[in-house]
Amino acid sequence: MPWRGVIPEPPSKRSFLFLQGPISPFFAQVAEGLRALGHQVQRINLHLGDRVFWGATGSVDFTGRADEWPAWIADFLTRHAITDLLLIGEQRPYHRIAIAAAKARGVAVIVTDYGYLRPDWITLERDGMGGNSLFPRDPTEIRRLAEGLSLPDLKPLYSDHFATMALRDVYYHALAQWPFPFRHYQRHQLLHPFLVYAGLARRLLLRRREDRRSAEVFEGLKARGTPFWIFAMQLETDFAIRAYSPFTDMDAPLGQVMASFAAHAPAGTELMIKLHPLDPCWKPWPKRIAAMARAAGIAGRVHIMPRGRLPDLLAASSGMITVNSTAATTAMVLGKPVKLMGQAVYNVPGLSFQPSLDAFWTEGAPPDPDLLEAFLALLCGAFMVRGAFHQDSGLAAAVAGAVARLDQGRINSAPEALLPDA
């Protein structure tokens, strides 16, 4: 399959179907923009939160059982002559089934989510993200496709409003608990959302303690002046771990990293484990990490950072190890060596370290600057749009960018203004 997801000779007016999207007005406003351009728009709600957040005409409720969904969605796609299917991610069970039905009918599949660069980029690409992304992994191909594209200014223009995001998230998932008429809905989360909120509320109450502890760890590392690496943890409930890595949780990669560090990192070096800021910590990570470090014989060399500004930590570090966190792109932009343990669009020779984890501690090298510039130019120009989901000006920019790309049929392809001269 070619990397470009451009719909061959897209009809001037198409029929878009929206499934679950970001917990934000993003999908509803994109749909409004497409309608204004003369396209048809449909929406399927899987629970009450979907219906309320859509808040627009043209939606249909699916209230059947999960085993009825494959035939139901296939019939819907055919009856409404859907040309384009939009959804967030592609790994939710309902979405995987819908994607299979769409591909069987020649329907274009477009996925969105938070971008590979943070905080103000949004992914908009064909077929899938992460390990399923059509982004090229060959450095020569990246350079060729990026020829003539300009690297945008990466200085953040927008920043999502956390309080707005949190309130929308709680409201959406509270609505999803209402059983009627969606009594058969099956959620995709491993943890019940209310358990996640309880864990995050506890971390919020302990924020000052976490801030003090993080500052103490960081200042201690800087005072000692010894080289240190960062292992950036991810949410083990995220599909980035569940679908795009060989791991089912974070314990396994943590154990592998510590064992490798103990056996192969130079003496006197240290390892910082950075917790994910949105991890509810139902697993007591500080205790688990300390036990792993003791078992590996490196208790005095492993430190836990509950919080902290990642760019500041990276600037002082020797590099980063992660499964496939988007934090890796931040490290690359800062010129730091990166070792990835999962599938990601940035797991490219010349950007991330390709030999073994054991070799990384002594042989890890910074990304090739020219390749990195080409990579970022292609990524920003063809696979993402600028904007945010929860801040007004950022949302307006994201909606405008998405509507333009969808209207033109230019997914995985740079807009005309960014393409080199023919």
| pLDDT value of position 56 | 66
Band (419; pLDDT cuts 50, 70, 90): very low
pLDDT tens column, 147-202: 989 888 999 999 888 899 999 999 999 999 998 899 999 998 888 999 999 999 99
HSE, side-chain direction, 13 A CA sphere, residue 364: 24
Q: What's the chain's average pLDDT?
A: 92
The fold for domain 181-372 equals Rossmann fold (3.40.50)
| pLDDT value of position 4 | 44
Average pLDDT over residues 247-260: 96
Q: Is 86 helix (H, G, I), strand (E, B) or coil?
A: strand
| pLDDT value of position 12 | 72
Answer whether 402's CB lies under 8 Å from 385's CB: yes
Buried/exposed code over 94-103 (b: 16+ C-beta within 10 A; e: otherwise): bbebbbebbe
| pLDDT value of position 193 | 92
pLDDT tens column, 342-382: 999 999 999 999 999 999 999 999 999 999 999 999 999 99
| Residues in CB range of 79: below 8 A, 6 or more apart | none
Band (55; pLDDT cuts 50, 70, 90): confident
Closest CA to 75 of 29, 116, 112, 44: 44
DSSP annotation of 151 reads: P
Average pLDDT over residues 211-227: 93
Round to whole Å and give the CA distance between 162 and 143: 36
Enter the pTM of the model. 0.91
Please give the full DSSP string across 347-395, using - where no structure is assigned. Answer: --BTTB--S-HHHHHHH--PPPHHHHHHHHHHIIIIIEEE--SSSHHHH
Round to whole Å and give the CA distance between 44 and 62: 7
| pLDDT value of position 420 | 42
Band (10; pLDDT cuts 50, 70, 90): low
The fold for domain 15-164+373-418 equals Rossmann fold (3.40.50)
Ranges of CATH 3.40.50 domains, the chain: 15-164+373-418, 181-372
Indicate if the pLDDT at residue 8 is higher than 50.
no
Average pLDDT over residues 130-152: 92
- Partners of 138 in beta bridges: none
Answer whether 286's CB lies under 8 Å from 304's CB: yes
| pLDDT value of position 189 | 86
| pLDDT value of position 58 | 77
Give Cα separations from 400 to 36, 364, 386, 393 (angstroms).
12, 40, 9, 11
Indicate if the pLDDT at residue 107 is higher than 70.
yes
